[in-house]
Structure 1
Amino acid sequence: MTIDRASILWRASSREQVEAPPLDRSLTVDLLVVGGGFTGAAAALEAARRGASVCVLEAEIIGHGGSGRNVGLVNAGLWLTPDTVMAQMGEAAGRKLIGTLGEAPRRVFDLIEGEGIDCEATRNGTLHLAHSPAGLRDLEERCRQGRRHGAPLQLLDREETARRTGTGAYHGALLDPRAGTIQPLSYCRGLARAAKARGAAIHAGSAVQNLSRRNDLWVAAANGHEVKARALLIATNAYHLGIELPFKPEFVPVSYCQLATTPMPDAARRHILANGEGCWDTATVMSSFRIDQAGRMIIGGIGNLEGPGGTVHASWARRKLRKLFPSIADLPFEHAWRGRIAMTTDHIPKIVEFGPHAYASFGYSGRGIAPGTVFGTQAAAALLEESPAGLPMEPVKHYSERFTGIKAAYYELGATLTHMISPSPLG
């Protein structure tokens, strides 16, 4: 395969743009946000809507990290079942988070509509696909638990799953009609554009070299200038660039790769994901597929396409495409890329209150769009109101992860071996 493995579809197809020049002067603001992804852009928009002064400092470009490399599935909830969330967090805290994230897709699509964000928004649900009989039993239990919490989930049989997806490879599916798909980079840029239109200072190419506390203000040094702020939100997630003090988020970095074909012929588009649902499966080494507005098939899976196992992951994607959708098996891949996921051991996001009027939000474990939007929005509100009551979860003072490098290597090795030995799309 000769395709450039750093050719990101979302950058090529984005219709949203935002002017974000490098920081060229010193500022004093109410809220400083470090990181220009979903969380940071949503926080900036909320602060600007409230009439607060806000500055976003992004080291690269807006949406450079996971927000511009995301699959684009706007999912409700977490990977975990509701019962698991409550077992880990406690019933009251778990119910609060489950309820908040259950409503999160609606908030995403409301923002898209309200701000006129041009991001291929398609709210026709997502399909969690059973790769085996055991996977179907897992989905049956997820359906029961979700319905107990008011989620309008539907369990689909094999025939209906095949009709919706265009492949008979799966044993059934769990449909979540609350969810949908978007062009993730366009969404992120649209949030930043809307924030800037309301007065937010949005600066890309502005890596923070130093962050300190001085005279009851947070002070960030970037591009030879300083930004002083009463409140601070670190929203770097899996793309933290080494600001060691006063806080550095800890997580397991997991790679997720995607490959996008050229647009499908009209005949294939009429029977493959005709309604535009986004899909992922129940396999231990998870994979996903979806189409974009142009009709490109996008195949994704755990693995670092830019690392030593890149050829293995790319070959697996071709075999998976051939097994799932023979009619488009020979469509060339024209884009291929990978992103980093900030995985926490318990798969629950974190809000760390690491100093006065200072939060860090991270660890979405592969579900960045809806949780990132809500966590950023509510973190901005909590910091400006000086009250954590509206946060989706109680902040903690400290959070640490052990053996992150070993765990990351384990995930990559497992994905590489699975993709190497499995000729089946269900691997």
Structure 2
Amino acid sequence: MSTTRNLWDKSCREHVESRPLTADAQADLVVIGAGFTGNSAALAASRRGASVVLLEAERVAHGGSGRNVGLVNAGLWLPPEDVISAMGEAAGSRLLSALGEGPRTVFERIETHGIDCEATRKGTLHLAHSAAGYAELKKRCRQGNRIGAPLRLLDAGETAARTGSQAFHGSLLDPRAGTIQPRAYCTGLARAAVEAGARLHISSPATRVERGDGVWIVHANGHRVRAKALLLATNAYHRDLAGIKAPHYVKVAYSQFATAPLSPGMRERVLSGGEGCWDTAMVMSSFRLDREGRMIIGGVGNAAGPGAPIHANWARRKLRSLFPELVDLSIEFSWQGFIAMTSDHIPKLVEFGPSAYAAFGYSGRGIAPGTVIGAAAAEALLEDRPEAVPLPVQSSHSERFRSVRGAWYELGATVNHALPTRLRN
């Protein structure tokens, strides 16, 4: 395998003009973090005629937005009834409805702004790794159908025909969903925001936030940005920022490994329908193809940490167990990112001051929820309408034992990946 490289860096065809902050500025809205949430907020606010300053410590899509799997899923990781149980009937149903339309929102943004991001709306497959996993998918299908989601339960035969793998007991097809090149999509959102009037500043880490004379003052690169409203959209890549309490979440690593392109014959047999996939295992894994026909295998674990050799060996074994005919393909790319996990797996929107929100905690579902919640948060902040966001605005959110739990996730993934890969039984 070559030196660790992110495939999305190589294949991104989108570009946005940006430069560091070099002078004081004023705006209606200042956004910190140029990922899915921040770029979506900047685009929505600019299209409403508001002035926007978007600050990014590194480059656009530096964090999870430029490192994730690229599955544009509907809803949340949790089954619908669990969401309603955690949030209540009214709030849970509202969030499920909004995020059920999340993929449509994403693909509409792509079409409207001509974003070149390998958009493929062929659905996703949630794969049963065991008989118990298939029973769980039956439950999810019933619950989804009950709220109007067009989910279809597939048996082992149809799942094998769609994936090209005999490893699964069945699957749940969501035709609303699809796949994208995530860095390209995020960069395209930023480009669209700049074209709409937003001022984007990369290499401009915010270091301090304060409030004075009825406005927010954000310090970055030795300069000040004054704005009526503030959105913190750093998610799992939050840095020390004086003046506000850091968002609480558990930081979980997720790594991916991409092969050389499949041959034309292989592409006729493996994921020929273009679906993106993930499984029901406790230590989840995912796989999909990109535009060039590379197989991308992903799983929980840090491919740049102490367990890196274990995770890399797991990827090779996983590929062999799922698709024996791909065993001779070399792995040419590997990279990792971080997920902001919450205990209940529900995103959070915390109001930490007047006209100031922090949005975070997508628990591995950042693309559609980030797009939806970012745009809604911009509307809510600019119009003082918190009800515009399909998520309750909280005054605070706390997660206990964050570092310990993050280390526990990594240990569990490393131990699981060190064990022999189990085939279907």
How far the C-alpha of 1:243 sits from its partner, in A, is 1.0
**Offset of residue 405 of structure 1:** 0.6
Q: Deviations over 1:43-99 (max 9, x none)?
A: 000001001000100000000000000100000011101110111111111000110
Q: Matched residue of 1:320: which SS?
A: helix
Describe the shift of the 1:3–1:424 C-alpha distance in structure 2 as closer, same or farther (beyond 3 A). farther
For these two proteins, the number of residue pairs brought into alignment is: 425
Structure 2 counterpart of 1:128, from 117, 126, 129:
126
8 A Cα contact 1:218 1:231, kept in partner? yes
CA distance in 1, matches of 2:179, 2:15: 19
| Aligned residues of 1:283 and 1:426 also touching (Cα < 8 A) | no
Tell me if 1:396 matches 2:367: no
8 Å CA contact retained: 2:116, 2:188:
yes
Q: Which residue of 1 aligns with 2:179?
A: 181
Where do residues 40-119 of structure 1 align in structure 2 (5 Å cutoff)? Answer: 40-119=38-117
Distance in 2 separating the partners of 1:189 and 1:255: 22
Q: 2:167, 2:70 → 1: CA distance? A: 23
Q: CA deviation at 1:426?
A: 6.6
Residues 123 and 181 in structure 1, CA contact (< 8 A), matched pair in contact too: yes
Q: For residues 331 and 17 of structure 1, what CA distance do their matches in structure 2 show?
A: 31
Q: How many angstroms does 1:205 deviate by?
A: 0.3
Counterpart in the other structure of 1:150: 148
Residue pair 2:169, 2:424 contacting (<8 A) in 1 also = no
Look up the match of 1:411.
Answer: 409
1:260 aligns with 2:258: yes
Q: Which amino acid aligns with 2:356?
A: A
Q: Secondary structure at the match of 1:270?
A: helix
For 2:162 and 2:130, locate their aligned partners in 1 and report how far apart those are by CA, in whole Å: 18
Partner of 1:202 in structure 2? 200
Q: Any conservation in 1 of the 2:207–2:242 contact (CA below 8 Å)? A: no
- The CA deviation at 1:323 is 1.0
Aligned AA (1:53): S
- What is the CA–CA distance in structure 1 between the aligned matches of 2:236 and 2:222, rounded to whole Å? 25
Q: How far, CA to CA, are the matches of 1:188 and 1:426 in structure 2?
A: 37
1:8-56 per-residue CA deviation (whole Å, 9 max, x = no partner) reads 1101100001111111111100000000000000000000100100010
Note the alpha carbon deviations across 1:342-385, whole angstroms, 9 max, x for none. 00011000000110000000000000000000010000010011
* Contact 1:129–1:173 (Cα < 8 Å) also in 2: yes
Secondary structure, in 3 states, of the residue corresponding to 2:77? coil
The alignment-based identity, stated in percent, is: 59
Within 5 Å, which residues of 2 pair with 1:7-406? Answer: 7-406=5-404
Aligned partners of 2:242 and 2:179: how far apart in 1?
A: 35
Are the equivalent residues in 2 in contact too, given 1:251–1:401 (CA < 8 A)? yes
Q: Deviations over 1:208-240 (max 9, x none)?
A: 111111111100111111110000000000000
TM-score (norm 2): 0.99
Structure 2 CA distance for aligned equivalents of residues 83 and 244 of structure 1:
39
Cα offset for 1:120? Answer: 0.3
Root mean square deviation, CA, Å: 1.0
Structure 1: 5+ residue stretches without partners: none
Deviation at 1:393, TM superposition (A): 1.1
Judged with a 3 Å threshold, the aligned counterparts in structure 2 of structure 1 residues 379 and 425 are, in CA distance, closer, same or farther, namely farther
Can you list the C-alpha shifts for 1:312-334, whole angstroms capped at 9, x where unaligned?
A: 00000000101111111111111
Counterpart of 2:387 in 1: which secondary structure?
coil
Q: Deviations over 1:133-170 (max 9, x none)?
A: 00000000000000000000000010100000000110
State the TM-score, normalizing by the size of structure 1.
Answer: 0.98
Residue 192 of structure 2 aligns with an amino acid whose one-letter code is A
CA–CA separation in structure 1 for the residues paired with 2:133 and 2:57: 41
Shift of residue 287 of structure 1? 0.1
**Alignment check: 8 A CA contact 1:320 1:425 kept:** no
Structure 2 residue identity aligned to 1:304: N
**CA–CA separation in structure 2 for the residues paired with 1:376 and 1:229:** 17
The CA distance in 1 between the partners of 2:118 and 2:23, in whole Å, is 36
8 A contact 1:269–1:295 mirrored in 2: yes
The 3 A distance-change label for structure 1 pair 263 and 209 is same
